[in-house]
Amino acid sequence: MDKEPIIQTIGLGKDYLTAAGPVPALQEISLSIYPGEFVAIMGPSGSGKSTFMNLLGCLDIPSAGEYYLNGTSVRTLDRNQLARLRNDAIGFVFQGFNLLPRINLLANVALPLIYAGVSKAEREERAQQMLDKVGLGKYGLSLPGRISGGQQQRVAIARALVNRPRLILADEPTGNLDTRTSQEIMNLFTQMNREQGITVILVTHEPDIAAYAMRLVRFVDGHLAYDGAVGNDTQGARP
């Protein structure tokens, strides 16, 4: 890979402060992810994979090490600049969908564009396009509570993509979904990765889901335990 990495971490660490003192959740993580990669992050509960995702998403601040997003050290950015990155460089997909319950699907999808300062007409047009793309174009005026979990997750993906980020971070996006719906969602991720070259990083418990990725990163006890092709991971192989 001759391109610059989209993500590069050097000795990244995160401690959580508890009453008993700082507890390390993540230690000495150094890895690079290049544009167009599809990476699955696995590991048991408490292994630090979600912490790692939060750091990558600029939602949390590292306690140690460096994180370069598109070559820029995130440490040097202030809150507004981080907000800007989350708005136009990164798209988030959460396990719990995290749609706003009061506003309709179209408005949910258009939300990032409000903070990007896009005009009302363009917001609506682009949000509608994204809804069409995830196959929910007809439901724009419904509220999130009126559609199924799989549909909600597709809306969340539409929201993540609407401001055309080059990086999608998905934290257990299929965790609340049944197998068939999970496949649909994973097909969407695969499609955007292949057709638009969007870098996808997703956290998952399930090897079936991880199998959609090209590269697997495994965390154990806050350390990087495996980084390589999906098939070669021996530690994670089921008994």
Partner 1 sequence: MIGAMLGEAWLAMGTNRLRTFLTMLGMMIGVGAVILILAIGKGAQFMVDQSIAAMGSNLFIVMSGSTTSGGLRMGLGATPTLTIADGQAISELPGIVAVAPNAPGTAQLVYGPNNWSTQVMGTTPSFLEVRDWQLSAGYPFSDSDVRSATRVALLGQTVVKNLFGDEDPVGKTIRIKNNPYHVVGVLAPKGQSLDGRDQDDTVVVPVTTAQRKLFGTQFQGTVRLIMVQASSPQAMPAAERSITELLRQRHRLQEKAESDFMVRNLTALANTAAETARVMSFMLGAIASISLLVGGIGIMNIMLVSVTERTREIGIRLAIGARQRDILLQFLLESIMISIAGCVVGVALGIGGALLMNRLADTAVLITLSSVLLAFMVATAVGVFFGFYPARKAARMEPIEALRYQ
Binding-site ranges for partner 1 (CB under 8 A)? 54, 57, 59-60, 79-80, 83-84, 86-88, 92, 94, 98, 100, 102-103, 111-112, 114-117, 120, 123, 159, 163
Complex with partner 1: residue 5 or 91, whichever CB lies closer: 91
Neighbours of 89 (CB within 10 A): 18
Complex with partner 1: residue 150 or 165, whichever CB lies closer: 165
Q: Smallest distance, Å, CB 126 to partner 1?
A: 14
Q: Smallest distance, Å, CB 163 to partner 1?
A: 7
Complex with partner 1: residue 83 or 214, whichever CB lies closer: 83
Residue 69 and residue 57 in contact, taking contact as beta carbons nearer than 8 Å: no
Complex with partner 1: residue 222 or 233, whichever CB lies closer: 222
Measured CA to CA, the distance from residue 151 to residue 160 in angstroms comes to: 14
Q: Smallest distance, Å, CB 123 to partner 1?
A: 8
Q: Smallest distance, Å, CB 47 to partner 1?
A: 17
